[in-house]
Amino acid sequence: MRLWLTPVIWIASLCALTALLPAMAPLFSWVEGGTDNLIYTRDSFYTLLQSHIWLVLASATMGTLVAVSAGIFVTRPAGRDFMPLVSQIASIGQTVPPVAVLALAVPAMGFGEKPTLFALVLYGLLPILRNTLAGLGGINPAVLDSAKGMGMSSVQVLFKVELPLAGRVILAGIRTSVTINIATAAIGSTIGARTLGDPVIAGLVNGNTAYVLQGAILIGFLALATDSLFEALERAWARVFSARAHKA
């Protein structure tokens, strides 16, 4: 239970803060004195939080499927020649600024969530791919030989030996990718996506620091809650497979 205590506290804090922000106008008056509109009200913070989480979750799911599949493919004998190409494509996805990706995607996909999702998937590929390659490449060859000697097929070795052993490293890559994209998703508000970036953009346009702080605080709490959740998942993964190793 102690393992999950920290993420539960952060998630509860995020939910409480989201509910209480509309009542914190006196607090923000210290930041933006003399302004009538101190609390962002165009959309509820819960609606923006849900939309933000959905975008990050959807992009993380798609990015993980693509990056892990690509990592598995290029570590097989048939795909080793494609490793430089796959790595370069993933690197391009992160080196190109998300704003540029959005600008290029909008004419083809329109405004809103679709181009934002596309940009987040591209931006999140590299950490997952790198960690997949590191995790699969770091497995002791003797372990793989032993598994094959027991009569396991290549598919069985992959799913019963390689992915479980590399799982914690892959999870660390997903953790990095998701944490980065929680902040990056806010940029989607510039092209009509509903995210926690809405109050930030509105605050910048209107010169209202209170709006900017409200969006930034919620994004920060979401990032901390997500990071602590992944840390707990990594530890739980390590405990499960450590216990299995002792039993074996």
Higher pLDDT, 52 or 149: 52
Res 101: pLDDT: 80
What tens digit of pLDDT does each residue of 56-84 get? 999 999 999 999 999 999 999 888 888 88
Percentage of the chain with pLDDT > 70? 94
Residue type for 207, please? G
3-class SS at 39?
coil
Region 26-47 average pLDDT: 82
Yes or no: say if 6 and 30 are a contact pair by the CB < 8 Å rule. Answer: no
The structure's pTM equals 0.89
Two tokens, residue 233: 């998942």
Res 25: pLDDT: 84
Two tokens, residue 106: 């909008």
Res 148: pLDDT: 87
Region 1-18 average pLDDT: 90
**Structural domain of 34:** 2-247
- DSSP assignment of 69-129, as one string? HHHHHHTSTTTGGGHHHHHHHHHHHHHS-HHHHHHHHHHHH-SSHHHHHHHHHHHHHHHHH
The Cα–Cα gap between 32 and 27 comes to: 9
Rounded alpha-carbon distances, angstroms, from residue 231 to 11, 110, 221: 14, 36, 15
Domain holding 112: CATH number?
Answer: 1.10.3720.10
Percentage helix, strand, coil for the chain under 3-state DSSP, each rounded to 5: 85, 0, 15
Domain count, the chain: 1
Mean of pLDDT over the chain: 88
Q: What is the C-alpha radius of gyration for the chain, rounded to an integer number of angstroms?
A: 21
Res 194: pLDDT: 92
What tens digit of pLDDT does each residue of 96-150 get? 777 788 888 888 888 888 899 998 998 889 899 999 999 998 888 888 888 888 8
